[in-house]
Amino acid sequence: MTRYFIQPAASARLEEIYRHTVRQFSPAQADKYLDGVFALFEDFAQRRVTWRRIPSEFGVDGFFARYQSHFVFWKLRADGHIAIVAILHQRMDLARRLREDVPEP
């Protein structure tokens, strides 16, 4: 069974998303949003979503999917598990932020 691991930059973004959603909406809405994000992580690990490659112009190897207003980026680790490497809002400069958040091997 494939598992997923959340890298530090992605974990920090999850915390930011949660705090922002609590401030703007409510704790219940923040919980609901993060439940959806974590369900997506599980879908990656179980191969229940299409793995789309990150465009080459971003300069980072890996895959991505969209969850509502965020893009989630992940890599396949050497052991076959998933590494969630970045979670970025659609309004961010995705290429620049992705290069900042994703460590290259």
Query: Residues 18, 35: contact at Cβ < 8 Å?
Result: no
Lateral strand order in the sheet of 52-53: 4-6, 82-89, 70-76, 63-67, 52-53
Question: What DSSP string runs through 13-74?
Answer: HHHHHHHHHHHHT-HHHHHHHHHHHHHHHHHHHTT-S--EEPPGGG---SEEEEETTEEEEE
pLDDT of residue 105: 55
Tell me the average pLDDT across 11-27: 96
User: Can you read off the two tokens belonging to residue 54?
Assistant: 């990150």
Tell me the average pLDDT across 40-51: 90
The yes-or-no verdict on residue 40 having pLDDT over 90 is yes
Tens-digit pLDDT profile for residues 72-91: 999 999 999 999 999 988 77
| Model pTM score | 0.86
pLDDT of residue 7: 93
90 versus 53: the higher-pLDDT residue is: 53
